[in-house]
Amino acid sequence: MNLLRPRIWRLGIKSLLLHPMRSLLTVLGIFIGVASVVWLLAIGEGISREAQRQISELGATNIILRSVIPPDDSVNESNFYVEYGIRRSDVSALTDIPTIKNAVRIRETRREAHYGAVTLASHLVACTPEYAEIMHLSLDRGRFISDIDVQQRANVCVLAAEAAALFFSTQDPMGKAIRIRELPYVVIGVMQPRNATAGIGGSIAAQDFAKDIYIPLDTFWQRIGDRVLFVQSGQRTGEEVELSQITFQLESSDQVLATADAIRRTMEKLHTEKDYAIVVPLELLEQAKTTRLMFMVFMGMIAAVTLVVGGIGIMNIMLATVTERTREIGIRRALGARRQDITRQFLAETIVLSAIGGIAGIAGGLTCPVVMGWLRQALQIWVPDAMNNLPDAIRNVTPVIVPWSIPLAFAISVAVGIFFGLYPATRAARMDPIEALRRE
């Protein structure tokens, strides 16, 4: 008797159908294990892709230099303002590095903006025309800040989509003037909605772009200056910062690591305090890829444990089956069945169980993106606060089915069935036919 013969499979299926509930519960264990493999790998891939997308948006050929408050900040009774960060004089020294093609300067802070009765706690971004490109911003109408606006220190602004909707819910914002620190800024453009980005370490803060207001960099320096005062809950704090960030653009990714080292050495000479941070997206991207691999291996191991539990269930059921069918085994041996025939018969039954469980598990695993979408919507309704506190990469995760996980999960399920079914099958085959026939 050979496993390739149809008759052995028909006998196996017929034997399993004699106890449908027991067979169903055994299949359920394999189903959960296989579905877990597909689900966990899909969720892990979705989280990983979102993280890599956000890092990639920073630019593989970019290097970001950020101002950060040093651990021993300079606030004291005689100096109310925290003075830290990148200085304008740093730019000329850093742009002398030959591999740097362009340096995009940015100054950002929090400011209240007003239009009529509407007051908005906005994220004010003073920048140059290149900012829209490096941040992947798209215009909805009007135009973005131009070089002429920067040179002439024009009192113009561009609004993010949500800020424009809050200020001008029923009006066309183009040509209208909003006020920041009682100074008017004429709206020249409105941006399209932009997905939020998560924070990266302690160097790049999360940014949602929803309430951004963009003005020319030189206009900020002239009208607001380096010193900015904050009043919150009756407490007054201030900062004195010349530049919040410089994004250096390079010709090739091959130059990134050497240029980053050159920037680091230059800044160490120019600054006595560590009031800056250097972010290299290319390094972060490589780290994210390594983390992705480790994460998927970890998730796979968790799912494999579930499959092993299902396999133990198969062994348990098959051992019970062997005990119940002792007399049947004795009769078959007495009629001329060999030990390998008995082994193959019971192995066929375990393979049928595991194969059915594997196919059902794959079908269940493929529903992951749909079920996750429904679950996310339900949790947003039931526990909105908890959902809003989750990181964006997890809250907005879209599971991505990993193609190789499907054949892998199925192959593992069949292998588990064979491995855990081998002992019961061998035990059945080794029974003494005379002793087996004596069993009632």
Structure-token pair, residue 6? 């149809």
| pLDDT at residue 187 in the model | 97
278, 280, 286, 291 alpha-carbon torsion, rounded to 10°? 40
> How many CB atoms lie under 10 A from the CB of residue 176?
17
The arithmetic mean of pLDDT across residues 115-125, rounded, is 93
Lowest mean pLDDT among 72-86, 283-297, 358-372, 404-418: 72-86
**Whole-number percent of the chain with pLDDT over 90:** 34
Any idea of the CA torsion for 248, 250, 255, 258, to the nearest 10 degrees?
-20
pLDDT in tens, 131-181: 999 888 999 999 999 999 999 999 999 999 999 999 998 899 999 999 998
d(CA 265, CA 179): 42
Does the predicted model carry a pTM greater than 0.75?
no
How many whole angstroms separate alpha carbon 288 and alpha carbon 293?
9
What are the structural domain ranges in the chain?
Answer: 6-55+286-438, 62-251
Distance CA 349, CA 319 (A): 12
Sheet with 81-83, side-by-side order of all strands: 81-83, 235-240, 227-232
Sign of torsion over alpha carbons 379, 380, 382, 388: positive
The residues pairing with 190 across neighbouring beta strands, listed in sequence order, are: 141, 159
Structure tokens at 241: 């910062």
Segment holding 47, helix H or strand E:
helix 20-57
Q: DSSP code of 192? A: P
- Per-residue exposure over 131-164, b if at least 16 CB sit within 10 Å of its own CB, e if not: bbebbebeeeebebbeeebbeebbbbbbbbbbbb
pLDDT at residue 433 in the model: 75
Residue in 426, 43, 86, 75 with CA at minimum distance from that of residue 270: 86
The total of other beta-carbon atoms located within 10 Å of residue 122's CB is 23
Q: CA 56 → CA 134, 219, 440, distances in Å?
A: 11, 31, 71
> Is the C-alpha dihedral spanning 29, 30, 32, 33 positive or negative?
positive
The model's confidence at residue 80, banded by pLDDT at 50, 70 and 90, is low
How far apart, in Å, do the first and last CA atoms of the chain sit? 27
pLDDT score, position 435: 74
Q: Are 349 and 12 in contact (CB under 8 A)?
A: yes
Judge whether residue 263 has pLDDT over 90: yes
Q: Is the model more confident about 59 or about 221?
A: 221
Question: Is there a contact between 83 and 240 (Cβ–Cβ < 8 Å)?
Answer: yes
DSSP SS3 for 371 = helix
> Where would I find the beta strands (DSSP E) of 266-423?
276-279
Check whether 2 has a pLDDT greater than 60.
no
Q: pLDDT-derived band of residue 77, with 50, 70 and 90 as boundaries? A: very low
Q: What is the mean pLDDT of residues 236-257?
A: 88
Per-residue pLDDT, averaged over 290-308, amounts to 77
Strands, DSSP E only, in 319-406?
A: none
Residue 318 has pLDDT above 90, yes or no: no
Q: Which amino acid is at 261?
A: D
Structure tokens at 62: 């970019």
Residue 75 confidence (pLDDT): 46
Structure tokens at 38: 């597909």
Contacts of 299 (CB under 8 A, 6+ apart): 40, 41, 43, 44
